[in-house]
């Protein structure tokens, strides 16, 4: 009798997840996956046509995880092929090339494409996103620095890694952290554990750092009109100094932004009577 009983599966042992890659064409999505799964790098560019699909097994803590990877083509031409693969995804590898500012600026559009395809009832809150700042081996051409990428990622509650599919730097750490985070969500009933769902800095701080970074002169940096009075400059300075003081603000890039604000105030006060 006992022998004929169906064997009870050990609860929570094996898990099947779906992950997708997203990002502009040629940023290195396929190479990142190849580096991790096959431990090799191909320097010749072979554009993904539509979607590449693969299955791999990984271990996280005591669990075996079967990972279905859908590697998407980044070229706009393949939008019609990509769009049906967004649903039922637990993790997204979002890639840009640190030497191509366009590919970094395009990250918001990739999120928007996914959101649109998931429809009004699609919920992206419990999906784990990892941002890969890729091709860090190409140091000469780098134009998006670490703090800028990290600020974008962390202000959205995403993971951030600096990677090179060519040298392998950051790749294993990225996948390991990514899979652990996905398993944490699965083990938490499909919901993100509250502890790591929000950034450790405010939107106001992130916006101020971005504004300072993109400002065209010292007036713009302090957010005052050209020709503002000493009082106005000091008032604007104090507000930013409180917001971004390194003792209070842990947002990526805050130290540089703070220094820039200090210098902007000095420069402006020199010329105001
Ligand atoms: P699509 O499939 O068209 O969306 O592109 P993709 O994002 O999959 O890019 P792919 O992985 O095919 O890589 C594009 C090119 O960048 C290839 O020539 C790669 O050899 C090169 N590449 C990828 N990763 C790196 C890297 O980390 N460093 C350097 N130097 N080159 C890289
Ligand atoms: Mg590809």
Query: Which one, of 103, 101, 82, 81, lies nearest residue 21 by Cα?
Result: 82
pLDDT for res 192: 86
Tokens of residue 87, six digits? 């649903």
pLDDT for res 9: 46
Element (H, E) at 154: helix 146-155
Q: Which residues line ion ligand 2, judged by CB < 5 Å?
A: 29-30, 48
Q: Give the residue numbers spanning the domain of 224.
A: 203-271
Same-domain pairing of 102 and 221: no
- Could you say which ligand is closest to the alpha carbon of residue 25? 1
Give the residue carrying structure tokens 């699609």: 122
Q: What is the pTM of this model?
A: 0.87
- Could you say which ligand is closest to the alpha carbon of residue 52? 2
How large is the average pLDDT for residues 57-76? 94
Same-domain pairing of 37 and 166: yes
Phi-psi region of 12 (alpha: psi -120 to 50; beta: other; left: phi over 0): left
Whether 9 maps to a domain, the answer reads no
Tokens of residue 137, six digits? 């081996």
Please, what's the b/e burial string for 27-65 (b: 16 or more CB within 10 A of its CB; e: otherwise)?
bbbbbbbbbbeeeeeeeeeeebeebbeeeeebebeeeeb
Same-domain pairing of 59 and 184: yes
Q: What is the ipTM of this complex?
A: 0.99
Same-domain pairing of 44 and 111: yes
Name the residue of 76, 102, 165 to mutate for ligand 1: max ligand atoms within 8 A of Cβ. 165
Beta bridge partners of 132: 95, 161
pLDDT for res 31: 98
Between 121 and 20, the more confident residue is 20
Same-domain pairing of 63 and 165: yes
Select from 132, 164, 188 the last residue of a domain: 188
Same-domain pairing of 173 and 48: yes
How large is the average pLDDT for residues 253-259? 95
Beta bridge partners of 95: 132
Q: Is 169 in the pocket of ligand 1 (CB under 6 A)?
A: no
Examine the pLDDT at 136 and tell me if it is beyond 70: yes
Instruction: Assess contact for 169 and 136: CB atoms under 8 A.
Output: yes
How far is 1 from 221, CA to CA, in rounded Å?
79
Select from 132, 159, 188 the last residue of a domain: 188
Whether 114 maps to a domain, the answer reads yes
Same-domain pairing of 19 and 154: yes
pLDDT for res 10: 52
Annotate 10-40 with DSSP letters as a single string.
PTT-EEEEEEEEESSTTSSHHHHHHHHHHS-
Element (H, E) at 188: none
Q: How many domains does the chain have?
A: 2
Q: How far is the CA of 265 from the centre of ligand 1 (A)?
A: 43
Q: How far is the CA of 40 from the centre of ligand 2 (A)?
A: 15
Q: Is 227 exposed, middle or buried (0-12, 13-18, 19+ CB in 10 A)?
A: exposed
- Could you say which ligand is closest to the alpha carbon of residue 33? 1
CATH number at residue 107: 3.40.50.300
Same-domain pairing of 181 and 229: no
Measured in Å, how far apart are the chain's first and last C-alpha atoms?
A: 97
Tokens of residue 4, six digits? 């004929």
Name the residue of 28, 81, 174 to mutate for ligand 1: max ligand atoms within 8 A of Cβ. 28
Number of helical (H) and strand (E) elements in the chain, helices listed first: 10, 6
How far is 210 from 147, CA to CA, in rounded Å?
10
Q: How large is the C-alpha radius of gyration of the chain?
A: 23
Same-domain pairing of 20 and 142: yes
Can you tell me which atom of ligand 1 is nearest the CA of 46?
A: 12
Q: How many residues does the chain have?
A: 273
pLDDT band at 72 (very low <50, low <70, confident <90, very high): very high
């Amino acid at each position: 009798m006992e022998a004929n009983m169906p064997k009870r599966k050990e609860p929570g042992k094996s898990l099947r997840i779906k992950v997708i890659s997203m990002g502009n064409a040629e940023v290195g999505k396929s190479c990142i996956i190849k580096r991790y799964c096959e431990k090799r790098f191909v320097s010749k560019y072979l554009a993904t046509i539509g979607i590449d699909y693969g299955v791999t097994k990984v271990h996280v803590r005591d669990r075996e995880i079967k990972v279905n990877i859908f590697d998407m083509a980044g070229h706009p031409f393949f939008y019609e092929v990509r769009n049906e693969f967004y649903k039922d995804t637990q993790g997204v590898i979002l890639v840009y090339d640190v030497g191509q500012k366009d590919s970094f600026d395009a990250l918001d559009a990739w999120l928007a494409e996914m959101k649109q395809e998931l429809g009004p009832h699609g919920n992206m809150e419990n999906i784990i996103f990892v941002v890969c700042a890729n091709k860090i081996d190409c140091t000469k051409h780098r134009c998006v620095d670490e703090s800028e990428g990290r600020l974008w990622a962390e202000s959205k509650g995403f993971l951030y890694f600096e990677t090179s599919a060519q040298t392998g730097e950051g790749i294993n750490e990225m996948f390991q952290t990514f899979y652990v985070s996905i398993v944490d969500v699965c083990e938490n009933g499909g919901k993100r554990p509250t502890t790591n769902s929000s950034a450790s800095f405010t939107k106001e701080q992130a916006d101020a750092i971005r504004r300072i970074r993109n400002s065209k002169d010292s007036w713009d940096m302090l957010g005052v009109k050209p020709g503002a009075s000493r009082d106005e400059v000091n008032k604007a300075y104090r507000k930013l100094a409180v917001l971004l003081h390194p003792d209070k603000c842990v947002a990526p890039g805050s130290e540089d932004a703070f220094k820039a604000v200090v210098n902007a105030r000095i420069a402006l006060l020199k010329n105001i009577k």
